[in-house]
Structure formats: structure tokens, C-alpha cells
Structure 1
Amino acid sequence: MKRQGPIGHVDADCYYVAAERVRHAHLAGLPVGVLGNQGACVIAKSYEMKAAGVGTGMPIWDAMALCPEGVYVKRDFRWYEVLSRLMLETMRELSPKVEYYSIDEFYFEVVSPRGGDDQEAARLVRDRIMERVRVPVTVGIARTRTLAKLISDAAKPFGARAVLDPAAEHALLAARPVTDVTGIAGRRERLLLPRGIRTCLDLARADRRIIRRVLTASGEALWWELNGDPVIPINAQRTPHKVLSRGGSFGAPTGRPEVLWAWLVRNLERLVEELAFHRVLAGRVAFWVGYRDGHASEGRATPGVPTDRFDVLLDALRPCLRRAWVPGAMAARMHLFAEDLRPHLPRHLGLFDGTGPGDAATAVKRAVNDRHGRFALRSGATLPLGPIYADRANGHDICDVRGKTCF
């Protein structure tokens, strides 16, 4: 296997809470919970709130019963992205190659400071981010990215640790359950347990051929990584999307078709934004809706030609909604998918091609929103969602943080 220098992993500690504490200093030391956009559940919590028994995904009323002295704030992904970009800038000053893995995680090629070692490099990264951004992070450095993440997880909170000695690696792996490896959970864990694989070290010492047969090539890559061979590279540039999606929970379930239609239109407006940003066209669209009783339904359609036009995609999705809607059932969430993506390249116009009213309306809408703010001008079909648009927390979602690798 090709050898390379050490790889580092940076992971912010309770990132959403830390970001709120950057702009609201009085929250330091208090039990803080960050709520989802509908304010119904806790999506992140401070260590103080975790100690009170509050878990991620817990309904707000249960969290308040466990931690009545807690401070609960609604999430603000636009602000979290601002700080995330500042962390990315800082990382790029310290390393020639950085992967923006998620809003609060980065992988990087380690450059040891002059006169220092890899342990000093870990402390430098941690302390520089704290100094510049005021967000506490934990840094792990190892021979591979999989090992680096395991080390940073073990060093939390606000830790900085470099482990490059095989004996020290084995001690770490023996103490961690196999589910601590990113990519091992649920079905894969159940496949490994009958083979006596319970810890990370069990996985590293297993027969590679068996791991490939059970977990396919991606599982074999993890085996190599746990044994110190870096086979998963640092991706400084995001790989092209295969699918783009927008959607989520409604907050309040609905059985009204006009509200369901309004949500479809809202999510399509967001999806069209992404098609335009990534300069791709949708060759196929899919619509999925989940109901409160647990069942789901979907529909698919193919536009006449690959497109990113709102009006054309809306016409394609209209019959998908009819197929997916169950009269009388309470819909709770929805997702739209743009599939079979094609690059938006210059092309010769056909005899009947040209710009029509749909193109002109899209151009005006985009110009107004670029100047006055996202969703300042939107389709009238979204009028039933007035309270959603009135809440500024709904103007930016985690999937709108562009450039990260994991989404």
C-alpha cells in the first residue's frame, strides 16, 4: 500500500452549542439545548445537559422535565456555517490539503511545526481554532483517517492526541467497540457479531478476505485503514453529486392536500437553487412522502428533457403527488429528489427552443432573491406556509451548507 504522512481529524465539541456560545457568552457553563427548526426536539445539547439525561432527538417536553433549568434555543444553520467557514480558513492556513467533511469535521494532511512533532501539531490546530473562532475542537492524528477519527473521538472534549505507534494503536482499538468505526453500524454490526468481532481490534485482526466477503470492498478499506494502511484519501474537492435532494419534517402533520402541495413547491424551490448552483440538470425526479402512521408512498417522473426549470419540474412532480397522496392520512415529512443528473453545458438550440415565460419568471425571481434575501419572492402556492417563512430559522438548513463531503 502507498505510504503517506500522518492524517489529522478535527471534530468540534458540541458544535451547535459552541456556536451559540460564541455569540451569547452568558451561555458558557449552562445546560444548553439546540432545538430543530420546528422547536419540537433537541438536535444538540451541551455536556451539562447531557449529564442531566437529555439525549439527541428527545422531544422538548421530555427534555424540560429532565433539565428544567436548561436554556433551549432554536437552531441557526446560517450562523453555524459562518463559523464553519472560519474553521476551514484556519485549517487551510495550517495544512496544504484539507477535506471539508461536514459542518464541524475536517480531515487534513499533517504538517508538524518547526522543531515540533505530531503531538505538537495536534495541539497547534486545536489551539489555533480556539484562538481564531472561539470554538472548542478535538484533534486526532494517526497513520490513516479512520484511525485519526477514532483517536479524536477518544480524546474528547478539547483534546489533542497523536498516536502513530502500532502498540498504542492496538491498545486504543481494543478499548473501542466496532461500532465506533464510521461505516459500521446496524446491519454490518449484526453481520460481524457471529464472527466474534466486537471491538475495533477484532476487526483489524480478522481475516481480510472474510471482511471483504461480509462487508464488501468498502469494509475491506476500513480493515486496511485500521491496520495503518491509508487507502481512503483526503478529498480536498467534493466529488460530483449523483443525486440532489431537499425536504424534511413538516413539524405539524397535515392531511390537507393544499398544504402538502405548498410543501412540495417550497422544497422544489430549494431543489432548483441547488441544481443551478451545481450547474446540473435533472433527468428524472422522485417524490416521497412519509405518514404519521409509519407508512410511506412515492412517485417518479421523467421530464421531456433534462432541466433545472421550476415550471417544468413542477409539472413533472404534480402527478407524483397524486400517486403518493393518501386521502385522510396525516403526512409528516417529504423529500424531493433530482436524479440522473447531467452537466449544464452550452448546446445548440433546436427549432422550437428558446426562452419562454418560465425562463423569464425564473430570472426575475432569482434576481429579486439575490438582492433582498432567500425566499423574499416565492411561488404563491406556498401561502399556506406563512408561519414557516416568518420564522428566520427556516431560511437555511443543514443541507444548504455547500461544499462538505458527507452530504
Structure 2
Amino acid sequence: MGMDGRATAVGHLDADCFYVSAERVRDAFLVDKPVGVLGNQGACVIAKSYEMKAAGVKTGEPIWEALVKCPSGIYIKRDFRWYEVLSRLMLGLMQDASRRVEYYSIDEFFFRAEPGRGETFEGLAKALRDRIEECVGVPVTVGIARTRTLAKLISDTAKPAGARAVLDPAAEEELLAGLPVTEITGIAGRRAERLSAWGITTCLHLARADRALVRRLLTASGEALWWEINGDPVQAIQCRRPAHKTLSRGGSLGEATSEPVLLYAWLVRNVERLIEELRYHEVAAGRIKVFLMYKTGHTGFGQRTLAVPSDRFDVLLEAARPCLRQAWARGATATHMHLIAEDLAPRGQSALSFFDPPARRLRAEAVARVKAEINDRIGRFALRSAATLYLPAIYADGANAYDICDVRDKMCF
């Protein structure tokens, strides 16, 4: 019950084929057609419509394979700036409807479900679904249950455009009996194998399993899921994202390369992007790590601890350069790079380094201010390090200017 005496439960709202739906909002021509949204390099399908799914196209499939399966499909480069616009509109509507809303991902929200007077939980789910589609134009599915884990299971099974509330234990049991345990977020791969060895293959098996056994097999996080699917809410709705323990930037290099000059250009790009994030969160990095993934499947790695935490371009690049050398394998073709900042400290609360001359520090900070002011006024990356000039195609393609990780304040990513 809520503080005002109204019955409460947990809701989960998830947009249906969100990236495709967002493209259809601004171009009705795409409605009812097979549509695939491509990653920033245009190399693979990162989202697909139900029509394209029916043709056999899978998420993550290379574009050349998708074209064979669905030659009549319409393939569009993703646009996370536009997706964020619609995501924020959905968030605002959710906050109007509930006093506690968690911005879980760009198209997913958990919320405290509180029906109005004379309204049922099922009626609330339908009202929210219809309100989002009416105001934003995006179809969504809503599930309401006693816990967030159950709510997500319900919404997942009600897609597309469903609205369902299940709060009766008998109805919960019927739902859980028909779902493999891998339908629960957080249970897959090795975790599922451990459970399977004990005959736990469905959600209901897990609910009926011994709690101590589940904890031994899946640790405390798995035990929390056990409580949740048994109707005991132990995972709170987080209205504000907890502080980051790490920040990172990186991803696919687009065209795989073994050229050191190109790898260095990507390193500089990721340092500049990482600094944007450090400054947004008002933290400084105490340790830098660089990962390179290669076509052979192996990974190169390098790390460096800074004398004092910093968010300065010259300091972070000086630390990241030897990390790249450690991660680099001569002649090997790299496909991905990730730059990670750890040991985050509040910005401006660390002692100055004895080895950082004041004149150098003041000059670097002045350059950073000018750079930020110009980019804020003209456009992101309008002014950047000359080392990135080796990546003209990346900066010429607007799809590369904004990524899913740039949509801030979500719980995931």
C-alpha cells in the first residue's frame, strides 16, 4: 500500500521495436514495411521491425546477410539524438502518471503502479499504453505485478502493444510454469547451466527451488531474483541513477585495421569523448585502461594509474598512449577499442601534482575551455585534436556524433 492508503504494485513499460517505431514516427511511409535500423558503421542490424523479423533477420546480423533474407527491406542508419527526444517525452509522461519512475533504458521504465479511484491495475496498464501511443506515437507494452522482475516477465510475454496486470499468486504460477528460466534478466549462459544441473529449467522451478541452493548457485544477486519471482519486492525503483564507478567510451572501429596511426586516432577520439563524460559527471579519472579486440578473438590490454585524478586532455592522453602500446599487437587486425576510466574522484578535490607545472596546467585548462565553448556553439567535434584527421569518414557521418551511451541518466549503459 502507498502512504495514502492506495494499493500499489510495480509496473514495467517497454517500447515495441523502439528504434524502428521512432523512425516511423517521423516517416509514416515506413509503417507496416520491413525496416532494419543499422549501427553507426552501417555494418549490422541493431533493431528490426516485426515484418523484418518474420523474414528471418536477427538482431546483430551483418547487413549483407540481412539483404539476402530480406531484399525488400528498408535499412536506415540509427539516430540516437532523435530516439532520445522520444525517450524523454515518454519519461515525462511516465513521471506524470507515477510518483516513482526509474529511467532504466532508452525505451524501458519501471514505475510504482497506483491506480486511481475505481481504476484497476489492468485499467492503469491499458491507460498508460494508450497515452504513450497517443502522445508520442510509439507502441509500448505495459506489465504490472507484485515485483519488478515479475512485471518485466509479464510485459515481455504481452508484446506487442499489450497491457496486462498479474497480481494473483495462482496466475503468477501459471505464467512462471510456461517460461524458461533464461527469460529472467540476469540468468543466461553459465548461470542457466548451473541451474539446469539441478533440474531448474523454468521460472517456476526457480521459484520452488530451495533459497539457500539458489544463493549458492547464483550468489546474492540470484537470491534477490528468487525473492522477486516469489512475489517479495527486494529490488527498489531507483528514481536517480547511482554514481558511476567507472566511465568508458569506445566500440567498433568500423573498418578493422592494423595501422598504428589509425589506432592512435581512435584512441584520441575516445579520450575526447571520455572527457565529455567526466566533465558532465564532475569527476576525474584515477586510472585509465585500454582494451583492443582483434579479429583473431584475442584481446590486448594496458592500464596506467595517474599520479593524481584528472580530466585534462593532455594528462589522460599521456596516460592512455602507453596503454595502447601495451594493448597493441604488431600486424594484428583490431576490430574494437574501449577506453575505461576508473578510481573516479570528485573533480577539483584532489591535490595538485608536484610534477605538473602551474603554467602547463593553466594553459591546458584554458585550451579546454576554448574547445568546449566552440563545440557548444558550433557543434560537437567541430574543434578536435588533429590526430583524429585520419578518421574523416567517422566525423563526416552525423550518425557517429551521438551514441546510445550519450543518452545520460539511464540506469543501464
User: TM-score normalised by the shorter chain: which range applies?
Assistant: over 0.9
Does 2:187 match 1:181? no
Seen in structure 2, the aligned counterparts of structure 1 residues 319 and 350 have a Cα distance that, compared at 3 Å, is closer
Matched length: 406
Look up the match of 1:391: 397
Look up the match of 1:366: 372
Find the aligned partners of 1:69 and 1:106 in 2 and give their Cα distance: 34
Seen in structure 2, the aligned counterparts of structure 1 residues 46 and 283 have a Cα distance that, compared at 3 Å, is same
- Listed one character per residue, the Cα deviations across residues 84-143 of structure 1 (whole Å, up to 9, x for unaligned) are 000000100000000000000000001213321100110111011111100000000000
Find the aligned partners of 1:61 and 1:179 in 2 and give their Cα distance: 30
3-state SS in 2 of match to 1:225: helix
Look up the match of 1:119: 122
Letter in 2 for 1:260: L
Find the aligned partners of 1:348 and 1:146 in 2 and give their Cα distance: 44
Seen in structure 2, the aligned counterparts of structure 1 residues 209 and 94 have a Cα distance that, compared at 3 Å, is same
Look up the match of 2:25: 22
- Listed one character per residue, the Cα deviations across residues 335-373 of structure 1 (whole Å, up to 9, x for unaligned) are 000001111245676886474221111111000011111
Find the aligned partners of 1:161 and 1:146 in 2 and give their Cα distance: 14
Match of residue 166, structure 1, among 151, 166, 169:
169
3-state SS in 1 of match to 2:309: coil
How far 1:296 sits from its partner (Å)?
Answer: 1.1
**Which residues in structure 2 correspond to 1:221-260 (within 5 Å)?**
221-260=224-263
Look up the match of 2:412: 406
Letter in 2 for 1:278: H
Find the aligned partners of 1:56 and 1:141 in 2 and give their Cα distance: 27
For normalisation by structure 1, the TM-score amounts to 0.97
Find the aligned partners of 1:249 and 1:319 in 2 and give their Cα distance: 21
Look up the match of 2:53: 50
- Listed one character per residue, the Cα deviations across residues 171-211 of structure 1 (whole Å, up to 9, x for unaligned) are 00001100000100011001000100000000000000100
Find the aligned partners of 2:188 and 2:130 in 1 and give their Cα distance: 32
Find the aligned partners of 1:348 and 1:57 in 2 and give their Cα distance: 46
Find the aligned partners of 1:349 and 1:317 in 2 and give their Cα distance: 20
Look up the match of 1:143: 146
**Which residues in structure 2 correspond to 1:203-352 (within 5 Å)?**
203-346=206-349
Find the aligned partners of 2:139 and 2:333 in 1 and give their Cα distance: 42
How far 1:154 sits from its partner (Å)?
Answer: 0.5
Seen in structure 2, the aligned counterparts of structure 1 residues 381 and 348 have a Cα distance that, compared at 3 Å, is closer
Letter in 2 for 1:146: T
Seen in structure 2, the aligned counterparts of structure 1 residues 314 and 348 have a Cα distance that, compared at 3 Å, is closer
Find the aligned partners of 1:353 and 1:235 in 2 and give their Cα distance: 42
3-state SS in 1 of match to 2:11: strand
3-state SS in 2 of match to 1:195: coil
Letter in 2 for 1:337: I
Find the aligned partners of 2:93 and 2:231 in 1 and give their Cα distance: 27
Find the aligned partners of 2:19 and 2:353 in 1 and give their Cα distance: 50
Contact 1:113–1:120 at 8 Å: present in 2 too?
no
Letter in 2 for 1:356: L
3-state SS in 2 of match to 1:37: coil
- Listed one character per residue, the Cα deviations across residues 52-81 of structure 1 (whole Å, up to 9, x for unaligned) are 000001111111111111100001111111
Find the aligned partners of 2:329 and 2:217 in 1 and give their Cα distance: 39
How far 1:323 sits from its partner (Å)?
Answer: 1.3
Look up the match of 2:132: 129
How far 1:267 sits from its partner (Å)?
Answer: 0.6
Does 2:199 match 1:196? yes
Contact 2:279–2:311 at 8 Å: present in 1 too?
yes
3-state SS in 2 of match to 1:272: helix
3-state SS in 1 of match to 2:13: strand
Find the aligned partners of 1:372 and 1:221 in 2 and give their Cα distance: 48
Deviates more, 1:352-361 or 1:44-53: 352-361
**Which residues in structure 2 correspond to 1:4-83 (within 5 Å)?**
5-83=8-86
3-state SS in 2 of match to 1:7: strand
Find the aligned partners of 1:219 and 1:241 in 2 and give their Cα distance: 23
Seen in structure 2, the aligned counterparts of structure 1 residues 284 and 32 have a Cα distance that, compared at 3 Å, is same
3-state SS in 2 of match to 1:303: strand
For normalisation by structure 2, the TM-score amounts to 0.96
Find the aligned partners of 1:350 and 1:257 in 2 and give their Cα distance: 31
Contact 1:77–1:396 at 8 Å: present in 2 too?
yes
Look up the match of 2:96: 93
Deviates more, 1:28-37 or 1:3-12: 3-12
Q: Percent identity?
A: 64
Letter in 1 for 2:120: D
Find the aligned partners of 1:5 and 1:175 in 2 and give their Cα distance: 26
Contact 1:301–1:316 at 8 Å: present in 2 too?
yes
